Structure 1
């Protein structure tokens, strides 16, 4: 994940036997070298300073589960939405899935509404804890 923070995508790509990113909140699947490179291009065009801050790392039988804060500043177009110049921070979980000893998929979960509200694109969700 550190290689993504410094935009060393060659190192990131080299960790995969077959690169595949599944972004669950948007339903996007980037499968194969060319598509995953397109993912990096698109996300870093919108968020040039996108980065991950590790919170916890957990090992499982068929993978590694990583909890992190995903952060960035919206400085370029995002799916046709012009840049807002606003920053976001969103707790995120990624599953790094393996077949034997080969990394074959990164499956990412986050709350898209959190990011969109911090960018000023949707109203924040009301608190269930009241107005405190």
Structure 2
């Protein structure tokens, strides 16, 4: 299944090029960050920044649901922050946040990944210790 290939490329192999190739039309929407990356170049930048900030980034799947034109993956996003992400300077701290990833399709072609997570939880985990 293309969603499994996509998650493996992004979160196991950390291969941005292979991740982008899983799309018929590359597009990420990340409402928590106010980001829409539309097109291969924008998606490359977004994923490159994510993996630079969290070089050990992982997605731990907890449930998968199927709809007529979507696959929904419930998961935990995890990683250790080594670079700037979402306006947060590198902290060296780990983040782990529940998320819902909605993979949207046009026929058999993947056209968008929409990632929902609580940015406040991420900020709290990465904030400097006082």
Q: TM-score range by the shorter chain?
A: 0.7 to 0.9
Is the deviation greater in 9-18 or in 25-34?
Answer: 9-18
Q: Which runs of 5+ in 2 are unaligned?
A: 1-6
CA distance in 1, matches of 2:10, 2:85: 19
1:76 pairs with one of 69, 79, 83 = 83
1:105 pairs with one of 112, 116, 130 = 112
Aligned residues: 122
CA distance in 2, matches of 1:36, 1:83: 22
Runs of 4+ more than 3 Å apart: none
TM-score when scaled to structure 1? 0.86
User: Which residue number corresponds to residue 32 of structure 1?
Assistant: 39
User: Which residue number corresponds to residue 62 of structure 2?
Assistant: 55
* 1:4 corresponds to 2:10: yes
When you count helix as a share of all residues, which structure comes out higher?
2
CA distance in 2, matches of 1:116, 1:79: 9
Q: Which runs of 5+ in 1 are unaligned?
A: 123-132
CA distance in 1, matches of 2:105, 2:87: 34
Report deviation, 1:106: 0.3
Q: Is the 8 A contact 2:26 2:111 kept in 1?
A: yes
| Aligned CA-pair RMSD | 1.5
CA distance in 1, matches of 2:87, 2:9: 27
- Largest Rg, 1 or 2: 1
